Amino acid sequence: MEHVVIIGAGQAGGRTARALREQGFEGDITLVGEEPLLPYERPPLSKAVLKGEASVDDVMLADEDAYRQHNITFRANCRADALDLSERTVSLSDGAHLTYDHLVLTTGGVAKSLPILGGDLEGVHLLRTAEHAAAVSAELKEGAHLAIVGGGFIGLEVAASARQCGCTVTVLEGFERILARSLPAETAADVASVHAGKGTEIRTNVRIASFRGGARVEAVVFEDGSELAVDAVVVGIGIAPDVKLAEEAGLKVDNGIVTDEFGRTSAAGVYAAGDCAAAFMPRYGRHVRLESYQNANLQPANLARTIRGEERVYDPVPWLWSDQYDWNLQTAGFPNEFDTVVCRGSVGEGAVVYFSLRDGELRGVAGLGQGAAIARDVRFCQMMMERGVSPKAEQLADPDVALKDLLKAG
């Protein structure tokens, strides 16, 4: 009987195990995870879980009974220390050795820290795991001053959650603006205006020298010698793909574990999915590593088909969302790939959608709206990109031209 070993029990690992069973795989499945918890969804960690509106149990992919009923062996608190690709074995931290027919690497990512003086002080936090979320949540007290290093999606979500808990919040961004890697400047400015309206201070072009304190952090020290007094710090400067195991085994690695469009790595019988995987996407003609809820759900299902011998090209138009206060930010495609950006709507109207075009081709869309105001528009644009439909810039900018009609016309 075939044995599938999955290393990494995050969302992608848990979804891979479940997808195999749902698609009829009858062999053995072993899921290995470093955390003591069953697989859970990470997006709520910076929102509902952080604010105490949901527990980690609420965001589990499934309970113990479900894994038992699907005959999935889960090994918690266990790390994969080494792979032997020729012998097809995995050495685990508890001394066990697993033999596999198929090996899936869903090792995810590691939260980046700041290698500066004071980075290890009490009160300086990362946010990647449920344990991290519990520690940050304990800091969100009425009147506490929280500094958030990083003005990307995670940093801004934490900022919104902290403000909603009554904290004073200062976001410290090293680039000239927030969301510089992912969104056009116009969209980022609108997001910044929402945060400013909620009382969050955003500082850009910041250079941090160290964190000062005794046993616990007391201030952020900048390179010019000035300081910002704080009660706690959250470092949210992104993740690095966890490729150590793959690299040491000799797998091809380039900003992630390199796979083809079916999820296969450079070694026979070895696959990768989720935040750690740099998958070839024919639609874009390059390898892309996606950090999103969508990818952690869809890529494992596609990979399960590959393992079962029913190969299907994985080639989605990327989509992600971020909830900040009562505003929902959604993107599809690659909004930062453009030579032209046009928009319809405005923050003042409660909904604004930005369209990114390059050489006349719709490459990405970003929508910011209260509640679900922009969800349909973003979905229509995602479908346009899936079908290769690229309306003219003036059509996209005209609020009297329905995006649904542009989709149909294409």
* pLDDT per residue as tens digits for the range 63-114: 999 999 999 999 999 999 999 999 999 999 999 999 999 999 999 999 999 9
Is 7's pLDDT higher than 90?
A: yes
pLDDT at position 108: 97
Q: Are 8 and 108 in contact (CB under 8 A)?
A: yes
The span from the CA of 155 to the CA of 77, in Å, is 28
The span from the CA of 403 to the CA of 384, in Å, is 9
The span from the CA of 50 to the CA of 6, in Å, is 28
Domain 113-235 has CATH 3.90.550.10: no
Please give the CATH topology (third level) of the domain spanning 3-110+239-307: FAD/NAD(P)-binding domain (3.50.50)
pLDDT tens track for 294-338: 999 999 999 999 999 999 999 999 999 999 999 999 999 999 999
Longest dimension (CA), the chain: 65
pLDDT at position 292: 95
Identify the bridge partners of residue 288 per DSSP, sorted by sequence position. 279
Mean pLDDT of the chain: 97
Averaged over 118-142, what is the pLDDT?
A: 97
pLDDT at position 244: 97
Q: Are 274 and 249 in contact (CB under 8 A)?
A: no
Is 410's pLDDT higher than 80?
A: no
pLDDT tens track for 105-114: 999 999 999 9
Task: Specify the amino acid at residue 364.
Answer: G
Q: Would you give the distance in Å from CA 16 to the centre of its chain? A: 17
- The percentage of residues in the chain with a pLDDT greater than 70, rounded to a whole number, is 100
Q: What's the pTM value of the predicted model, to 2 decimals?
A: 0.96
Domain spans of the chain, in order of start: 3-110+239-307, 113-235, 326-409
Averaged over 243-250, what is the pLDDT?
A: 98
The span from the CA of 324 to the CA of 169, in Å, is 14
Q: Would you give the distance in Å from CA 228 to the centre of its chain? A: 29
Structure confidence at residue 177 as a pLDDT band (50, 70, 90): very high
Fold agreement between 113-235 and 326-409: no
Q: Taking the CB of residue 134, how many other CB atoms lie within 10 A of it?
A: 14
The span from the CA of 369 to the CA of 407, in Å, is 21
The span from the CA of 258 to the CA of 331, in Å, is 24
pLDDT at position 269: 97
Task: Single out the residue of 174, 127, 130 nearest to residue 146, CA to CA.
Answer: 127
Task: Single out the residue of 307, 248, 240 nearest to residue 80, CA to CA.
Answer: 248
Averaged over 354-378, what is the pLDDT?
A: 97
pLDDT at position 1: 87
Task: Specify the amino acid at residue 16.
Answer: T
pLDDT tens track for 196-214: 999 999 999 999 999 999 9
* 3-class state of residue 117 by DSSP: strand
Where does 326-409 sit in CATH, by number?
A: 3.30.390.30
pLDDT at position 72: 98
Is 245's pLDDT higher than 90?
A: yes
